[in-house]
Structure 1
């Protein structure tokens, strides 16, 4: 619900702060007082065009701030998806700034947003109804959703079937494209698969071969050093043999002196360590054994892996996966029409399910349309539209227009005179007729919900008496469900308001300004009397105003 509107330097409005409450709020004033400026300011906050012509003469910028109750969960989710943080339970503040030299900025709760986002959230906040509104009831793009809401028609099953059908079509199209591409490349595919399978690359094989190759190359370099070490240790003249000979001699003489015994122990330890060293050297020679033929084979395998990887523009470790992928493509190509036929059957079955769901949805819409036509017809005579006829047109869409919402095009049409053809709402020539008809339609659709705030711009244009009273009664009825703001010239409508705002223009000799103020009960009676009698307010007009207020 719109709770407040702050306007700074918009056309003739220098500074204006308005508070709004629940129910029906009426805005009155003489012709040219600036009622349209007020609606232009609200429209600006809701994403309307940021024209620099809206900036008051002499000001650098125009600023409009609209305050709303805490947003609904769906609206909060939409804002969150667009990076706008909204604290639960906190009001929603929308501010729009238009520069005199061009350009505009928009903010939601102090966070900068685009005017496009404002236009997206606007219908969830405010509905503006009038002959120049192309986003409300006049826009046929919203008629299908309105009819579904009125008839409580849920398209969820149709949407599910549509998603399944489109996914099946996408899988089939991808399979056909793959087979077509693969068929063109069959010769290359067969050669590549044969070549890769013959190579038989394994993940991690390149690193293993490279490590082995480095080890053998190193072994080749240190082979002479290892041989020299063995010569020093092994053999009859090697160091280990001489240590053992020394140990045998020491064993005979060790009892003769304590130092000889210690020397024997030391030599024994040396023999043990030298034996361990000999064993380690033997193991190292075995591990680092240099086989020129094995080195050549490993290098050849390594070069083959790397060459194949370069050829297919992958890493060597990815060759195994590539082999599997290309083999799978070749297998699917060989499977050919058998696989396609199965996918085509899936498409056919999901299409049949969608057709059935869409047909059932159309039947429910037809039933809802009949009820809506009847509800609107009931509202027309009291609004002096006795000769008008309303119908809800449900027509099939072409395949390009099918969606999760079904196959139907829905549009509201009206014929205003006997014998006249039906035409879209926007084609109604008379602004007064259109406004009254929009009210009848909105009353019929009242149960469908919508924005928490509705604005009717001069819906009573060109009517009076009983028709104006009927309009006022219906506006008051709508206002029980939602906040309603009405710009009106009708005293019968003004008398129905829970709050009455007067829009007036003042001139101090140099500057003309538009102001708005809420009227007291006495002021309200005087304003309604003015609306009844014109420039000169008579006692009779005041008495009639009193009667209107009492019966409202």
Structure 2
């Protein structure tokens, strides 16, 4: 993860290994900014106050290894993102005016998309961990795990069917959009043909019009010469 112009951090690269990572340090060392950076990558709220004084914007970029069949990878690809050699590239930019932009796998996405993937990618543990239980998604996950295979097996089948449905719906929307575009183009062509037919053009008329335009262009010179 690379952090630029965020709070006390000017430019830093943080390498987080798979598994558990503890962030420690003295007061003012930037621990909060590291956790805040992770929060931004995972769809957290942006605040102009986070931007380092004198900087135009703060940027956080992350590269997270994700198996191709993982739920996060599937959801990201459904949103148009692409994996880079088995990793998902995420970036978040916060301007000094408070505007925020998010990119996922090379594609601009709503910040809410990052929040959807958050639980699948990184777990951040802190003093407010228990508040995660207030999220309906966490509650459903806990119930599903408690139910065991009786729920896990049909849930996996449902997830696969739902992904296929999303793919078909996306393809249908694309086909429908192309059909509308072709219909609009056909209407425009018909309009052009009607305009041409309305003036009843004759063969060779373009040559006559060009010659007349040339004569009229020299009308002033001819009038002066005649007087």
Alignment of 1:217-296 (within 5 A): none
Distance in 2 between the 1:154 and 1:17 partners? 44
1:68 to 61, 64, 67: 64
Tell whether 2:13 aligns with 1:13: no
Query: Hey, what's the Cα distance between the residues in 2 that align with 1:135 and 1:105?
Result: 27
Q: 1:144 to 1:85 in 2, by over 3 A?
A: closer
Counterpart contact for 1:127–1:136, Cα < 8 Å: no
1:153/1:130 CA distance change after superposition, 3 Å: farther
Q: Name segments (4+ residues, structure 1) moved above 4 Å.
A: none
Counterpart in the other structure of 1:148: 144
Kindly tell me: are residues 55 and 149 of structure 1, through their superposed partners in 2, closer, same or farther at Cα, counting changes over 3 Å?
Answer: same
- How far is the alpha carbon of 1:91 from its aligned partner? 1.3
- 2:124 counterpart SS class: strand
Output one character per residue of 1:142-194: Cα deviation in whole Å (capped at 9) or x when no partner: 2242132144143339x99xxxxxxxxxxxxxxxxxxxxxxxxxxxxxxxxxx
Residue 103 (str. 1) matches residue 94 (str. 2): no
SS at match of 2:4: strand
Which position in structure 1 is the counterpart of 2:198? none
Inter-partner Cα distance in structure 2 for 1:99 and 1:117: 20
* Inter-CA distance 138–31: structure 2 relative to 1 (3 Å threshold): farther
Question: Partners in 2 of 1:86 and 1:34 — Cα distance?
Answer: 30
Deviation at 1:72, TM superposition (A): 4.1
Distance in 2, Cα, partners of 1:115 & 1:134? 24
Distance (Å, rounded) in 2 between the aligned partners of 1:122 and 1:72: 17
Selected match of 1:29 from 25, 32, 40: 25
Question: What's 1:113 paired with?
Answer: 109
Instruction: Report the counterpart of residue 78 of structure 1 in structure 2.
Output: 75
Matches within 5 A, 1:311-390: none
Higher helix share: 1
Structure 2, unmatched stretches of 5+, are 159-227
The Cα shift of 1:118 comes to 0.5
**How many Å separate the matches in 1 of 2:115 and 2:60?**
15
Structure with bigger gyration radius = 1
Decide whether the 8 Å contact of 1:129 with 1:137 is kept in 2. no
Q: Verify the 8 A CA contact 1:10 1:63 in the aligned structure 2.
A: yes
| Alignment map for 1:105-254 (pairs within 5 Å) | 105-133=101-129, 136-139=132-135, 141-155=137-151, 156=154
Aligned residue-pair number = 154
Q: Could you say which structure has the greater relative contact order, defined with CA pairs below 8 angstroms and 6 or more residues apart?
A: 1
Please state how far the C-alpha of 1:44 moved relative to its aligned partner: 0.6
Question: TM-score normalised to the size of structure 2?
Answer: 0.60
Q: Matched residue of 1:122: which SS? A: helix
